[in-house]
Structure 1
Amino acid sequence: MEDREILKLVGARIKALRKEEGLSQEALGEKGGFHFTYIGQIERGEKNVSLVNLAKIAEALEVNLTQLFGFVNEEMKQTESEMIIQEVADMLRKTTPSNILLSRNIIREILKMSHGTSS
C-alpha cells in the first residue's frame, strides 16, 4: 500500500466519523485545537498527520484512536456483519454502563429466541 493511499484512507475515515457526529470541519478543528483548513487537508489525504494529532482528532470525535484506522479497502474487506458489529460497538462505547448491560441482556434474549425457533 502506498503512502498516499494510506493518507487518503485515514482522511476518508476521519471525514466519515466527523459527519456521523454532525460536525463541520471548523467544529472538529475547534474541538481538537486545529484550524479547519488543516482538517480539510487531512481528510483529502494531503497532510501526513502525526500520531499525536491523530490522537487529538480521535478525542475530539469521541472515538478510540484505533477507530480512525477502521477503513475498508480492497485488501481489507469487512463483511457486512462485521461492519454492523463495529457500529453497535461504537454506539455502546458512547452510552452508560447500565445501558450497556441492558443492551447485552436484550441481545442475549433475542439470540435465545432465534435459536429456539430455528431448531
Structure 2
Amino acid sequence: MAIDIGGKIKELRVGKNLTLKDLSEKVNLSIGFLSQLERGLTNVAVDSLEKIAEALEVDLSYFFSIPKSSNNSILRSYQQEIFQVVNSQFINYHLTNDLENKKMVPRLVQILPCSTDENVTNYGHEGEEFVYVLEGILTLFLDNEKYELYPGDSVHIDSTVPHNWANYTNKLVKLLAVNTPNHFNIKHK
C-alpha cells in the first residue's frame, strides 16, 4: 500500500510543479522522508498524510482505493485495503472483493480515541445500518440518546433515524458495520 500512496503523492506533487523541498516546507516533514515515501520505502501516519493531502489540495480518501471487482467471493485478511479515512479518526476497510455488484456494504471500522469536548452531529441517511462492536467501547448517539456499546453488543437501525458514533476512551474501537444501500453499486442503484 505504501507504494500506491507514494506514487499518488509524487504524481500530484509533480503535477503541481512542486519540488520535494516545496512539499517538505508545506507539511513540515523532511525531504528524505518524503522521498522514501514516494518510492514506497516507508509508511506514513494518518495525521501526516492528512497534511500532505491538504498541501496537495486533495481529500485524504484520494490516497486509498476501493477494492477491485473480483469473481472470488473470498477476501483474505491480508487483502483488505483501507478505503477511506474520515476526520483522521475513522478508518474504513471494505470487506468484499465485489462491491460494485452487491446491495450492501460490509466494512471494518476502526475509530481512534477522541476528546469528549468535541461536538458530535447526528445525521440520518437513506437505508439500514447494522453495527457489531468487536473491540473497545463505542459511544452511540441515536435519536437524541447516548449509549455505550461493548464488545459483542450490536445495533440494527433504520438509517434515517439521526445517529452517529464516537470513541471517548483512550483505546481503539473496532466494529463491523453493514449498510444499505450500496452507493458504489452500479447495477442496483
TM bin, normalised by shorter chain, reads 0.5 to 0.7
Q: How many pairs were matched up?
A: 69
1:76 is aligned to 68
More strand by share: 2
Find 1:40's aligned residue among 32, 35, 38: 35
Q: What do residues 20-71 of structure 1 show as CA deviations (whole Å, max 9, x unaligned)?
A: 1111111011111111111101101111111011001101111111112259
Q: Considering only CA atoms, is the larger Rg found in Structure 1 or Structure 2?
A: 2
Residues 76, 17 of structure 1: alpha-carbon distance in 2 compared, 3 angstrom cutoff:
farther
Once superposed, which parts of structure 1, at least 4 consecutive aligned residues long, lie more than 6 Å away?
Answer: none
Matched, 1:26 2:21: yes
Aligned equivalents of 1:17, 1:70: Cα separation in 2: 16
Q: What do residues 90-117 of structure 1 show as CA deviations (whole Å, max 9, x unaligned)?
A: xxxxxxxxxxxxxxxxxxxxxxxxxxxx
1:64 is aligned to 59
Aligned equivalents of 1:76, 1:19: Cα separation in 2: 27
Matched, 1:11 2:6: yes
- Segments of 5+ residues of structure 2 without an aligned counterpart are 70-189
More helix by share: 1
| Contact 1:13–1:70 under 8 Å retained in 2 | no
1:53 is aligned to 48
Cα RMSD of the aligned pairs, angstroms, is 1.9
Aligned equivalents of 1:25, 1:70: Cα separation in 2: 24
Q: Give identity over the alignment, percent.
A: 38
Residues 27, 48 of structure 1: alpha-carbon distance in 2 compared, 3 angstrom cutoff:
same
Asked which structure has the greater RCO (Cα within 8 Å, sep 6+), the reply is 1
What's the TM-score once normalised by structure 2's chain length? 0.34
What's the TM-score once normalised by structure 1's chain length? 0.53
TM-superposed deviation, 1:76: 3.5
Letter in 2 for 1:57: I
Residues 62, 47 of structure 1: alpha-carbon distance in 2 compared, 3 angstrom cutoff:
same
